[in-house]
Amino acid sequence: MENEKFGAKIGSGAFSDVYKIGEEDIIKVLHDSRSLEDAKRELELSKLAIKCGLPTAISYDLTKIDGKNCIKYEFLDGEMLRDLLVKNPEKFDEYVKAYANLIKQINSTRARDLSITNARDCAFEKAEFIKTHITTEEYERIKTLLDTIPKSENFIHGDCHIKNIIYYKGELLLIDMDTVSSGHPVFELANIYITYIGFGEKDPTVVESFIGLPYDTAVLFWKKFLPLYLETGDEKKIKETESKAALLSYTRLMRHIIRR
């Protein structure tokens, strides 16, 4: 759809719409709920990701068009990983493996800017927020888990689902860096778990409408991804990691429900 102020619309999300401008650039138009500070933070995180060698689109500058905050990026003329999965189901395992390798690359990169959000601190804040809405036993279980997670400065993307990954010139690239934080990789796994499994446990159509895959396919994606990411077939280790990711993801989901 063409917009006379922004150009041809090529995508949209919960907090922004994306338009193509010219042959080599796009502009991300943030919704009214996103402040100028939000826009500045996203631009800074995108530039930090590039500086640290993460595979993502080059970000250029911040501008305002028709009263809306906008960020200009390079145009990646590729395909969403979600679309590739739908078009080429016979390559499902190949795409899951490539996805796992990408996430491992992200999480093995050390964040050089310690001023970015710390995932562990955020998780503690979520636990405190939901404390009065859960049992003492449930709260202690969450807190004990958080206490045992080592402090770390690894990059955490925070929203690396298959619609935020573009296949471009033979490699997978992450987009939407506004949720970047630092911390232990288990926090990344928690965000992945909630996207593919947690959101759909009560209503499977939520996952399908969000990432564009049937819920059973999304669950299979997670089940194949985790052993590849952990580089192990040890069922005990896989289940222990999944249990931690699930508990952290439910903490986030509970806070989301309460805030609504």
* Matching residue, tokens 């049992």: 135
C-alpha span between 243 and 187 (Å, rounded): 12
Task: Band the pLDDT of 2: cuts 50, 70, 90.
Answer: very low
* Matching residue, tokens 């028709």: 66
Nearest to 198 by CA among 150, 149, 250: 250
Return the pLDDT at 1: 46
Question: Could you give the percent of the chain with pLDDT greater than 70?
Answer: 96
Alpha-carbon distances, residue 251 vs 74, 87, 153, 231 (angstroms): 36, 35, 22, 26
C-alpha span between 63 and 248 (Å, rounded): 36
Question: How confident is the model over 195-235, as pLDDT tens digits?
Answer: 999 999 999 999 999 999 999 999 999 999 999 999 999 99
